[in-house]
Amino acid sequence: MLRELTCLLVAFYCVLTMIALAAAMDADPQRWSEFILGQQKPAWLVFHVFALVFFTVYQTIAWFRLAPKAMPLQLGDKVVAPGTIVAAHYVAWGVVSLVTLWIAGVF
């Protein structure tokens, strides 16, 4: 049930992204600066960290655990073990995260 409630957070972030895009595309650069300053307030920072840890990571782990049921993999006569499918998802998640951090200039 908790996993299903996280869709509300996803909807909120979709709206927040549209607001950010509108601010970024506005002819007045002051609007983007105000948006960024607003997102740096302590309450927003706590909310974003909470949302990332408790909703985004929770949702990811829940879906990875469901992956073998949602897409069972069969190679010839052999069925790939559910643990292998889950592990592959985590490896892919790690690779995509590292590439994203590299593109963002973190390292």
Instruction: List the domain boundaries for the chain.
Output: 1-70, 73-107
pLDDT at 38 over 90: yes
Q: Is the confidence at residue 67, as pLDDT, over 90?
A: yes
Q: CA-to-CA distance for 54 and 52, rounded, in angstroms?
A: 6
Q: For residue 59, name the pLDDT band (cuts at 50, 70, 90).
A: confident
Distance CA 27, CA 80 (A): 54
CA distance 84 to 39: 39
Q: How confident is the model at residue 89 (pLDDT cuts 50, 70, 90)?
A: very high
Q: Which residues partner with 74 through β-bridges?
A: 79
pTM equals 0.64
